[in-house]
Amino acid sequence: MDKKTAAELLTKLREEKPVIHHITNYVTVNDCANITICAGASPVMADSKEEVEEMVAVAGALVLNIGTLSPAQIESMILAGKRANELNIPVILDPVGAGATALRTKSALKLTEELKISVIKGNAGEIGVLAGAKATVRGVDSGSLEGDAFEVARRCSELTGAVVAMSGATDIVTDGKKTLIVENGHPMMGNLSGTGCMAASLTGAFAAVSDDYLESTASALALFGLCGEKASVYSKGPYSFRTGLCDELFRLKSVELGVDARIKDKDGI
């Protein structure tokens, strides 16, 4: 992938300002809204079953996050997701904590079975669970994953038909055939709740302006990781780092992303 593509997508995102419909968790909902705004898109948080089908119809992408799960929320996700599928609007799933409890695992699998998911973004444990690999999840944190991470991510993509992004020190993004590696990021991102949720929001924003979800997902993760690198330079701890993430995303120019994005093809092609 030519990293200039990431710069072009960021420019397009800021020009088009797509609406990104979130059905997400109440722990990080404000962070997700703000990171979406700072990227240049327009967030809307609507999870009532009475309005989600109408709301998603005006969106450029739908982001589903099961971080604070309830049966009513899953019902709304299914309604919104099916309407998004009808309208060819990309659906991004963040299966937070899949594998930690039976409800989370069952709900994540239900969403992948009943909806056409465009992108699944999760940690190694969550992706492993969806791929049927031996994996553990502690609460909402990745525990362990048996087997090769690249093969597990590819398997998850093959099973679900979605582009899969496995987050970590190095992010893995695959469509089952081609695999990209994103090396941008900083360890401080692991010391703050909500960074994974924010990454899913950015993934949705980039998907709203591109039909190539492999490249748009890698671009979103590279952008977020680069902002983390820049914010770490002057942050004093997790909360100033949180502010820095938003500030850096707001001020970062497309040309910087085109130069500093570290996106590689796993096979060197």
Q: Which residues pair with 168 in a beta bridge?
A: none
Report the C-alpha gap between 68 and 72 in whole angstroms.
11
Structure confidence at residue 140 (pLDDT): 52
Question: What's the pLDDT band for 269 if we cut at 50, 70, 90?
Answer: very low
Express each pLDDT in 5-37 by its tens digit.
Answer: 999 999 999 999 999 999 999 999 999 999 999
Nearest to 13 by CA among 43, 44, 37, 41: 41
Indicate whether this model's pTM tops 0.75.
yes
Structure confidence at residue 267 (pLDDT): 74
Express each pLDDT in 31-58 by its tens digit.
Answer: 999 999 999 999 999 999 999 999 999 9
Retrieve residue 128's tokens: 């492993």
Structure confidence at residue 143 (pLDDT): 55
Mean pLDDT of 101-107: 92
DSSP 115-171: S--SEEEEEHHHHHHHHT-SEEEETTEEEEE-S-HHHHHHHHHHHH-SEEEEESSSE
Question: What's the pLDDT band for 192 if we cut at 50, 70, 90?
Answer: confident
Is it the case that residue 139 has pLDDT exceeding 80? no
Q: What are the structural domains, with CATH classification, of the chain?
A: 4-265 (3.40.1190.20)
